[in-house]
Amino acid sequence: MINGKMIIQTHQLTKQYGQALALDHVDLSVPKGSIYGLVGNNGAGKTTFLKIILGQVYPSSGSFSLWDAQYKDAWQKNRRRCGAIIEAPGFYPDMTAAQNLEYYRMQRGIPGREKVSEKLEQVGLADAAKKKFRQMSLGMKQRLGLALALLGEPELLLLDEPINGLDPAGIIEIRSLLQKLNREKNITILISSHILSELENMATDYGFLSRGKVIQQISAKRLHELCGTYLEIRVTEPERYTALLEKELHLTGYKVLPDGTIRILGQPEEVTSYSRLAVEQGIGLLALERRELHLEDYYMHLTQEAEL
């Protein structure tokens, strides 16, 4: 479980749209100061989750808190502390970047005309202020959306697939921009994606959703420990061997696959300590291999297990 102060905390949050169960008893916690990656396939419930937090959709059951305020209580007051890009913002194609922002600034009653140039500058669009929206690249449009979300000086940004469709250079730009906002302005960011690797090197925490259910919530640090290198060991007596792993090597971070293969995750000790253990105890060592687990494979296994 993630420690520290939580900005969002949901408890058994559930949303049913007619027959479709979009969220199914979801417990997620978004820590203050995090870049929280909400990862799931299409239809997993990511957008629904973000909309509930923003009050655009009401939960069927369950509850959540936004900072110190509970849903149905004073939570609405804290919605003002949020900025969001949920669906593509309705920008006017023939208006410039600055005109579009100014339009929304007035519509939302946000004081300070200088906010427009300030936010364009913040997202790296200062030079494009006079460019018409329809002449902008997808990456620029995404950044303009971000400028709009930042207009009200939010402490929490909720971004629904902001990286979707961007080319690799665009992904890097948005990633470094979000990291800068997180670091320098102390903005907590909840960002959804259906591609885990898009969030790699950026997210500090992850929540994995599949068909409306949380399949795992994990810190990036822990995830990276689990990925990377692991050992696969096959022995003649897996049960006795795993008992010895726990007793002699005080190891708990292992998994036994259905065929009896033992997988040791994390940062395994010297390989020799595992072979020695088997030999000393008279257990036959059939195989011992060091392997790499990539982030995307980890996620795929997790999803497959959840969908079985």
Using CB under 6 A as the binding rule, whether residue 42 contacts ligand ATP is answered as: yes
Residue 17 interacting with ligand ATP (CB under 6 A): yes
Q: Quick check: 25 binds ligand ATP (CB under 6 A)?
A: no
Site membership for ligand ATP, residue 174 (CB under 6 A): no
- By CB under 6 A, is residue 52 in contact with ligand ATP? no
Residue 39 is a binding residue for ligand ATP (CB under 6 A): no
Q: Which stretch binds ligand ATP (CB under 6 A): 14-22, 128-136, 176-184, 281-289?
A: 14-22
Q: Per rule CB under 6 A, is residue 22 in the interface with ligand ATP?
A: yes
The reply on whether position 58 binds ligand ATP by CB under 6 A is: no
Task: For residues 232 and 154, give the distance between their C-alpha atoms in angstroms, rounded to a whole number.
Answer: 47
- Would you say the C-alpha torsion 35, 6, 70, 212 has a positive or negative sign? positive
Q: Are 37 and 209 in contact (CB under 8 A)?
A: no
Contact with ligand ATP (CB under 6 A) among 10, 29, 47, 204: 47
Q: Of residues 46, 115, 119, 143, which one binds ligand ATP by CB under 6 A?
A: 46
* 280 CA to centre of own chain: 45
**Residue from 43, 89, 170, 228 binding ligand ATP (CB under 6 A):** 43
Terminal C-alpha separation, the chain: 25
Stretch that binds ligand ATP, among 18-26, 83-91, 273-281, 287-295 (CB under 6 A): 18-26
Choose one: 41-49, 94-102, 114-122, 296-304; the region binding ligand ATP (CB under 6 A).
41-49
289: burial class by Cβ within 10 Å (0-12, 13-18, 19+)? Answer: exposed
Q: What is the nearest approach in angstroms of ligand ATP to the Cβ of residue 83?
A: 19
Count of residues touching ligand ATP (by CB under 6 A): 13
Nearer to ligand ATP among residue 61 and residue 176 (C-beta): 61
Candidate segments 16-24, 132-140, 175-183, 264-272, binder of ligand ATP by CB under 6 A: 16-24
